Structure 1
Amino acid sequence: MLKHQVHNILAATSVAEVWDTLLSCLTDIGFHHVLYGFTRFHTSSGFGDDKDHLFLTNFSAEYMQGYFLEGRYRHGPMVRWSIDNVGACPWSWIGENLETFTEEERKVVAFNQASGVTCGYTIAFPHSLKRAKGAIGLSLEPHVGTQEQADEIWARWGEELELICGVAHLKLISLPLPKRILTKRQREVLEWIGDGKTVADTAQIMGLNKATVEKHLRLARESLSVDTTAQAVLKAAMHNQIFTF
C-alpha cells in the first residue's frame, strides 16, 4: 500500500491530489485528522503574512476558526517544537513540559483540550533554508482516542509515516502556492523581468505596450503583497509561480 501511495504522490500535479492521497493513507492507518503547515518566511519575530503559508487540514471549520484564523497556532507548543526540532514527537511531550510554557502557549493547550485535540504526533521536516519551516500534525479522532492508542499506531507504522509524509511535503513545496496564484500574463512578465529584460524589452517580446506590461507588474505586486518588482520576482519564484511548466 505504501509504495502505491508514494507513487501516486510523486505523480500528482496539484496540491489537492497530493493532499487527498496523503489523507487516504493516514486515515487508513488510524490518524483521522491532519494539519499540515509550511512557510518560507519564518523569522525570529514570527511567521509573517498568513497568505504566504500553505495550510492543509481536514479538521472541522469550527476548530480551524479558533486555531488558525484566530491565530492560536502562532503560540502552539507543537508548532514551537517543530521550529526547533526535526523528526517526530508524541503529543505527550506537551504534558511533560507544561510548566515551561508561556501563558499564551497554555491558552492554546486549554483550547485543544476543550476541542478534544490531544492525542497524536507531530512530524517536523528538515530544511536547508533558515526561514523555511514545515510540519504535520497527526491526530486521533477528537474526544475519542488516547495517546496510548496513538503510540501503538506509531510503534507499528511510524517509520512508514515519516517516509510518506516527508515525500508528500517535498512534493507540496514544489507546487504553486494556491493562495498566491498569478494570472498567466503576470507570470510571463515577471519571468521576462527575472531574466533581466527591461519593461520595454518585455513589451516588445510579448507584443504589448509598456503601459500594459506596467499594469501586469503592478497587479502582480499587489497579489504578492510586495512593494517592488524585484521583490515580486523573488516571491513568485519562492511560491513556484514562475519558471514552471
Structure 2
Amino acid sequence: MIDSTELNDFLHVAEVETLWDLLVRRMAGYGFDRLIYGATRYRTATSLGDAEDFVILSNHSSDYTDVFINDGLYFHAPMVKWALEHEGPCSWSVLQEMARTGTLTAQERKVLEFNASQNVTAGYSISFQSVSARTKGAIALTAKAGMSQKEVDKMWAVHGDDILLLNNIAHLRILSLPYTSPSRSLTARQREVLGWVGDGKTVQDIAVLLKLTPATVEKHLRLARDALSVETTAQAVLKASFQNQIFTVESN
C-alpha cells in the first residue's frame, strides 16, 4: 500500500534525478528492476519531434540503451507503437499473442529478438494521458530476469492500481521540473532575457532592466535561439517554457 509519506516524497522533490531515483527504487520493490521513460511535447502526425528534445530516463545498462535508444531501435518497438495509439497500462502478454498469430513485422521481430538477448521479456507499459495532440509520455517497466509474464500479470492484479498511481504522479512531476539535454541547456542570462521577453518586454526594456546594451541583449537572445535550435525568439520562449527552463522557482 502507498502511504502519505511516500506520496509527499514524490510530490515535493525539486529535481528530476531525485524523482527518478524514487521511482526506480519503488518499482524494483514490485519486481520491475529496469525502466525506460520517454516524453515529447513536439509530436506531429508524422514525427515524435527532434530526439534532442525528448525527455528520456532509464536505468537499463548502456548495452541496452545504446542500441534501443541511441540507434533508434525503439522506433520499431511494438509497445512503443501501442503507447502512441493508446492510454493506460498494457501487459506485454500482447507481444506473445502477436508472435503467436504471426502479426509481427520483420522489424518488430528484430526488436523482440534484441530484447530477448537482453532479458527484456516480461513487463508492463504505461501510456500516460496526453494533455495535447503534441504531447505523449510513456514508461516501460521491465521485470527482473527470470520472472515470467504470467507472474508479472499476477502481481499486477494485486498491485497494479498502486503502480499506475505512482507512475502517473512521477510523469506529471517530470513534466513540471526542469529537464533538457546538455546541448539544449540555457545559461542563467539566456533564461533571464527569455523570461523578460515572455513578460512582454522589448530589447530596449530588457537592456535597461539588466543594465546591458541592446546589442548584448540581442546576443543572448541569438545564443538562446541557437541552443534551443529554433528560428525565432517567440519559439525560444515557448520551448524554454515547455522545458521549464524559464518561469520557474529556483530550488534552494
Pairwise TM-score range, normalised by the shorter structure: over 0.9
CA contact (8 A) 2:55 2:179 kept: yes
Write out aligned runs for 1:1-245 (5 A): 2-3=2-3, 4-98=5-99, 99-142=102-145, 144-179=146-181, 180-245=184-249
Percent identity for Structure 1 against Structure 2 = 45
CA contact (8 A) 1:39 1:134 kept: yes
RMSD: 1.3
Give a deviation string over 1:15-51, Cα, whole Å, max 9, x none. 0111111111111121111111111112221222112
Q: TM-score, normalised by structure 1?
A: 0.95
SS of alignment partner, residue 38 of structure 1: strand
For structure 1, the 5+ residue unaligned runs are none
Give a deviation string over 1:69-111, Cα, whole Å, max 9, x none. 0011122111111111111101111121243333322221222
**1:178 maps to amino acid:** T
CA contact (8 A) 2:40 2:49 kept: no
**2:9 maps to amino acid:** N
CA contact (8 A) 1:9 1:17 kept: no
Deviation (angstroms), 1:227? 1.3
Q: TM-score, normalised by structure 2?
A: 0.93
Number of aligned positions between the proteins: 244
For structure 2, the 5+ residue unaligned runs are none
CA contact (8 A) 1:5 1:21 kept: no
**1:212 maps to amino acid:** T
SS of alignment partner, residue 2 of structure 1: coil
